[in-house]
Structure 1
Amino acid sequence: MLRRTSLGTLGLSIGGILTVVGFWAYFVVDNATLNLVGFFYGIPLLLGGLALKASELHPVPLREPTPASVLTLREQQATATQNQIRKDVTRYRYGQRAHLDSSLTHLGLSPTDEECPVLVGVQEVETEGAYTLVLEFESPLIPLEVWQEKQDKIAGFFGPGVKATVSQAGDQKVDVALIATAAEKEPVASLN
């Protein structure tokens, strides 16, 4: 639940209420304790909320709800990297230009801030019995051919245990499917 809660909005709300109570206590009630709460807690929370709100990156929406069969596959086959990506992009982030911006820069898919593709959707599907995390990018300045040239590099970057495929998702949109392969599971230590 906290992943889906904007800390900026929370800070603005609580800080705003405490600040108003502090000013009310100072001017109307003449209550020093409430006055101090407003000034020493309310104003810093309000300013912190404003700072977080200014650097807030909203969660990427799921294209459609994940079916129960795919959730089962996720539990059985998803790599740690697939799980981390899914969790990171579906929560509020702070201080970043875009979701996966550093990964795209490392892969050579974001030469400048203006050319950076934007992650606009995520979907969990099954591909030939394998768990697949599909990332939908809006990519008006990076053509599909460039994405396809980087396909092996994408798989290596998000691997091991992942195969990547790139496809056209629509006008100026590209889907990157991260497909779990027969990942080598670490053996579980026996107590015997």
Structure 2
Amino acid sequence: MFGKISLGSVGLVVGGILSVVGFAAYGFGNATLNLAGMFYGIPILLGGLALKAAEIKPIAYSQEPSPDLQALRDSQATATQQQIRKDVTRYRYGQDCHLDDALERLGLSPTDEERPLLHHIREESREGRYALVLEFKSPLFSLEDWQTRREKIERFFGPDVTAAIAQPTEDEIELALIRAE
């Protein structure tokens, strides 16, 4: 639940309100309210600014999962598939992008400029098995680059996961993490 709320925005709002109240209390000569507003408001405001600067927005679904897919997810999804889905659909802090550590370990992130960027996810049923599809913008890594890493991807996101890699458009790669039989 809290992953769907931007902590940076909350810090900015609460810190801003407390700071304004503190400044107003200073103007009206209310020392107690002034101290509370200043000593709590400004640090919370600064914390909110810091969180906002380090914030990564949640990734959206390209297609919302149907109730049948949600039931399939609940019955078949591996712990890794569940964790990836939860991690990329919530606010994250202190990272360059979603899945940056995974892409680096897979050899798909030599520099920030070359790193593929996750832009959407979706859930599918492939031959009755649950699949989490990660949609990347990948202009500098070709389909062949991704396919040479397929076994490494399966080991990294496994166990019980097979990877299917497709290229729907020139600069886009879809990585499907499919529940193994």
Give the TM-score taking structure 2 as reference length: 0.98
Total equivalences in the alignment: 181
Residue 99 of structure 1 aligns to a residue whose secondary structure is coil
**What is the aligned partner in structure 2 of residue 106 from structure 1?**
105
Give, as a single letter, the amino acid of the residue that structure 2 aligns with 1:143: S
Deviation at 1:181, TM superposition (A): 1.4
RMSD value, Cα: 0.8
Counterpart Cα distance in 2 of 1:127 and 1:33: 63
Identity over aligned residues, as a percent?
A: 57
Gaps of 5+ in 1: 183-192
**What is the aligned partner in structure 1 of residue 9 from structure 2?**
9
Gaps of 5+ in 2: none
Deviation at 1:113, TM superposition (A): 1.4
1:20 matched to 2:20: yes
Residues 29-68 of structure 1: pairs in structure 2 closer than 5 A = 29-68=28-67
Deviation at 1:85, TM superposition (A): 0.2
Residue 96 of structure 2 aligns to a residue whose secondary structure is coil
Give, as a single letter, the amino acid of the residue that structure 1 aligns with 2:132: L
Deviations 1:136-167 (A, max 9, x none): 00001111110011111111100001000100
Deviation at 1:49, TM superposition (A): 0.3
Counterpart Cα distance in 1 of 2:13 and 2:139: 37
**What is the aligned partner in structure 2 of residue 95 from structure 1?**
94
Give the TM-score taking structure 1 as reference length: 0.92
Q: Assess if the C-alpha contact under 8 Å between 1:77 and 1:131 holds in 2.
A: yes
Deviations 1:80-117 (A, max 9, x none): 00000000000000111110011001001111111100
Counterpart Cα distance in 2 of 1:142 and 1:34: 57
Give, as a single letter, the amino acid of the residue that structure 2 aligns with 1:19: S
Q: Assess if the C-alpha contact under 8 Å between 1:136 and 1:169 holds in 2.
A: no
Deviation at 1:30, TM superposition (A): 1.2
Counterpart Cα distance in 2 of 1:23 and 1:58: 32
1:155 matched to 2:175: no
Runs of 4+ in 1 over 4 A off after TM superposition: none
1:77 matched to 2:66: no
Residue 170 of structure 1 aligns to a residue whose secondary structure is coil
Counterpart Cα distance in 2 of 1:170 and 1:92: 28
**What is the aligned partner in structure 1 of residue 142 from structure 2?**
143
Deviation at 1:169, TM superposition (A): 2.4
Give, as a single letter, the amino acid of the residue that structure 2 aligns with 1:170: T
Residue 168 of structure 2 aligns to a residue whose secondary structure is strand
Deviation at 1:171, TM superposition (A): 2.6
Give, as a single letter, the amino acid of the residue that structure 1 aligns with 2:146: W
Give, as a single letter, the amino acid of the residue that structure 2 aligns with 1:7: L
Give, as a single letter, the amino acid of the residue that structure 2 aligns with 1:129: G
Q: Assess if the C-alpha contact under 8 Å between 1:136 and 1:173 holds in 2.
A: yes
Counterpart Cα distance in 1 of 2:166 and 2:138: 12
